[in-house]
Structure 1
Amino acid sequence: MRLRIGDPMPDFQTRSDDGQLISPATLRGEWALLYFYPRASSSGCSLEARRFEQALPDFARLGARVIGVSTDTEARQARFREQCQLSFALLPDGDKAICRVFGVLGGLGGLLGMAQRQSFLFDSGGLLAHHWRSVNPDRHAAEVLGALEKFQTDPSVLRSQ
């Protein structure tokens, strides 16, 4: 499935590594970034996660949640959380159901059963505002914040994408 701007968040329901129930219904009413990464604790994934953690106060100020998703197990996600000192939700997707519904299994990552590094920003109504298909782990948190501020300042930007 390939999501387009304005599409609703695909349906899924799962528990994060710290026990939070996460689904489109639980996210409605706030902006949500679901960012997919290939492997917990790898250097690029750790860098990206730390950048998001550093930016969490800015995301909170803008009414947005950050949620990380990978095909790692719950135990591996929990170790990743501890190693990087993360406070946002991490979704273990060992059965790859969430990655499939978002269309992020593919390429080399698909052959290895890992998610591609992609991100999806949903507005408070649960509609896709932006999709990043190519992500630089070092700069991605800042890029998302910039886009989020732009979308909230001028909602017409969403309709013009």
Structure 2
Amino acid sequence: MDTMPQPGDTIPDIAMETPDGGSVKPSDYLGRKLVLFFYPKDNTPGCTTEAKDFTGMKAEFDSAGAAIMGISKDSPLKHRNFIAKHELTVDLATDAEERGLSDALGIWTEKKMYGKTFMGMVRTTILLDESGRVLRVWPKVKVKGHAQEVLEAVRAA
């Protein structure tokens, strides 16, 4: 794929590692809506706020029939620490270093900051329907108010 998915598309069913060392992939959530929020790094200000916002609204997402999974390339150990430090209740997954889901979707890409070029995650959220098809994509997410906007889209879908 290597490009941002569009509504109606399916996404690659690539396995990722869970914080406890297990494995998870998007198809594990078939039968309910799935919010995938891709974020750059555990325990950084924007990523922490985003994960805490989704955690704070998890019950509302549950009642709207949607699961939530945060995805970064941080290790399972870093995810465990992130979960413990911030009492997160949303699912987290570690994307593969190479050829992971974020790579396939074009979300892991070249970024520039302070004149340096590096590979990084573009903060992106994808909402999938019960059959695994893309309902909506939020590219280059601004964190403030984002979880609420996603919840409204889940309820409207």
Q: What is the aligned length? A: 151
Q: 2:23 aligned to 21, 27, 34, which one?
A: 21
Aligned letter for 1:144? Answer: V
Query: What is the aligned-residue RMSD (CA, Å)?
Result: 1.8
Letter in 1 for 2:109: G
For structure 1, the 5+ residue unaligned runs are 152-161
Give the TM-score normalised by structure 2: 0.89
Stretches (4+) displaced over 2 A:
18-21, 111-114
Question: How far apart in 1 are the matches of 2:16 and 2:74?
Answer: 14
Q: Per the alignment, do residues 41 and 94 of structure 1 end up closer, same or farther by CA in structure 2, a change over 3 Å counting?
A: farther
The residue aligned with 1:155 is none
CA distance in 2, matches of 1:95, 1:10: 16
The corresponding residue for 1:119 is 125
Alignment of 1:79-98 (within 5 A): 79-96=81-98, 97-98=100-101
The answer as to 2:107 corresponding to 1:101 is no
More strand by share: 2
Contact 1:72 1:94 in 2 (8 A): no
5 Å-filtered alignment, 1:61-72, equals 61-72=63-74
> Identity of paired residues, percent?
27
Structure 2 gap segments, 5+ residues each: none
Give the corresponding residue for 2:144.
138
| Structure 1 residues 119 and 80: alpha-carbon distance in aligned structure 2, compared to 1, 3 A threshold | same
CA distance in 1 between counterparts of 2:36 and 2:123 reads 11
Counterpart residue number, 1:48? 50
Greater helix content: 1
TM-score, normalised to structure 1's length? 0.86
Q: Which amino acid aligns with 2:30?
A: R
Residue 157 (structure 1) aligns with:
none
Query: How far does the alpha carbon of each residue in 1:15-60 deviate from its partner, in whole angstroms, 9 at most, with x for none?
Result: 3113453213211101001100011100010001100000000000
